[in-house]
Amino acid sequence: AGNVISALTLAQQPRIVPVRLERWQYDVTIGADLIRHAGMLLTPVLRQKRVVIVTDDTVAGLHLPRLLEGLAEAGIHADTITVPPGEGSKTITEYERVTNTLLELAVERGTTVIALGGGVVGDLAGFAAATTLRGLPFAQIPTTLLSQVDSSVGGKTGINTPFGKNLLGAFHQPVAVLADTSALATLPLREIRAGYAEIVKAGLIGDAALFDWCEAHGQAVLDGDPDTQAEAVRLACAFKARIVGDDEREEKKSDGRALLNLGHTFGHALEAELGYDGRLLHGEAVSIGLRLAFLTSVRMGFCTQADLDRITTHLDRLGMPARISDLGHVFSAETLIGHMQRDKKMRDGRLSFVLARGIGHAFTCRDVPDDLVREVLITESCAP
């Protein structure tokens, strides 16, 4: 796609992160105004000049017209399927509606499904693409910071069930990811912060230089500086691509893809309590979870207090949630531990945590005693 990109008159040269897997390879292209040029950018990877866009009502109102324009300009026929915004669309009901519509539109094996939206649309559209006609090509145009730095890369797709989140799904790798930083201009600051937590996470897991970069440039990312945002997306995608390239299907027992769950055991427990009704965003839960994972690492004797302090200071300075008490809700430690035990990351009846030996040195640990977790939660002003 290199010559296609240089043929464009983009305000800023896009950044490219190649994702190399065992039997598949694609580029994450990052830059301003990519949605408007999606027709040209996607043409080299389309098997048919025909696509079906899946998006949500909010994103459709803001960004769909530019995408349709760009596709039409390249002579690509596009149909659109719209779902309501929010986690509530990752259901079997919406999945059925999307796949029925795809079939009604008489899609063929070469018709590409394009997800235009955040992680909800990406996961839902990706799962529909993975299963319709045993697999349609799939492209991602992520429009939230979270989906640009995290969910659009790596090939996990899926929907929720009454038994838990993301329990029906498939690995389905995209043919291309276009992360348009211009789309972030319409995203509420709260959602930007939520996505930023996953960037900090990447640094804390395995890229100390990325965490240094966050300390220097995090504020500019939250302030909406397009070039700094593009660089943040590049760094986070490059990190995720490295992890996923090494463990595409999360088959490694320790380390590998499982490391991407740093902060998520605590985070999911908080989310389970505050429901998924917008009171607590995933990224907000992760932000707190990251600090708790390091606090646990300090208590276990793996990590220095100085590293924990550095993380707390960074989160505080940027106004990121850092403590359970930031949520203005009294949690019970026992209940939170119960949620952790039900988390699907539990193996052989033991809690599996991602801890760290310092910033950029995460590892999987199965030896965290329940009592220590309880103590950490009580220190964090939870009721016993």
Binding site for ligand NAD (CB under 6 A): 56, 58-59, 62, 85-87, 90, 117-121, 123, 143-144, 146-147, 150-151, 154, 156, 165-166, 183, 186-187, 191, 194, 282
> How many angstroms separate the CA atoms of 282 and 269, rounded?
11
Tell me if 241 sits within 8 A of 18, measured CB to CB.
yes
Nearer to ligand NAD, 8 or 62 (CB): 62
Structure token pair of residue 68: 């349709």
Tell me whether residue 194 or residue 202 sits nearer to ligand NAD (CB atom).
194
What is the smallest separation between the CB atom of 169 and ligand NAD, expressed in angstroms? 8
Name the minimum Å distance from CB 78 to ligand NAD: 19
Residue 198 CB, shortest distance to ligand NAD, in Å, is 7
Look up residue 176 and give its two tokens.
């291309």
Residues whose CB is less than 8 angstroms from the CB of residue 318 and which lie 6 or more positions away in sequence, other chains included: 193, 196, 218, 219, 222
- 173 versus 297: smaller Cβ distance to ligand NAD: 173
Q: What are the phi and psi torsion angles at 238 (to 5°)?
A: -60, -40
Of 57 and 255, which has the nearer Cβ to ligand NAD? 57
Q: Which two tokens stand for residue 81?
A: 């399927």
Angstrom distance (rounded) from CA 161 to CA 260:
22
Q: In whole angstroms, how close is the CB of 191 to ligand NAD at the nearest point?
A: 5
Of the pair 260, 359, the CB lying nearest ligand NAD is at 260
Of the pair 123, 380, the CB lying nearest ligand NAD is at 123
Looking at the Cβ atoms of 201 and 308, the one nearer to ligand NAD is 201
Taking the complex as a whole, the smallest distance from the CB of residue 122 to ligand NAD amounts, in Å, to 6
Distance CA 147, CA 127 (A): 15
Measured distance between the N- and C-terminal CA atoms of the chain, rounded to whole angstroms: 56
Smallest separation (angstroms) from ligand NAD to the CB of 194? 6
Q: Least separation, in Å, of the C-beta of 23 and ligand NAD?
A: 19
Query: Which residues are within 8 A (CB) of 226 and not within 5 positions of it... i.e. 6 or more apart?
Result: 12, 32, 181, 182, 184, 185
CB of 117 to ligand NAD, least distance (A): 5
Closer residue to ligand NAD, CB minimum distance, 88 or 358: 88
Closest CA to 177 of 203, 199, 196, 155: 155
Question: Side chain identity at 202, as an amino acid letter?
Answer: A
Percent helix / strand / coil, the chain, rounded to 5 = 55, 20, 30
List, in order, residues 6 or more apart from 103 with CB less than 8 Å away.
Answer: 132
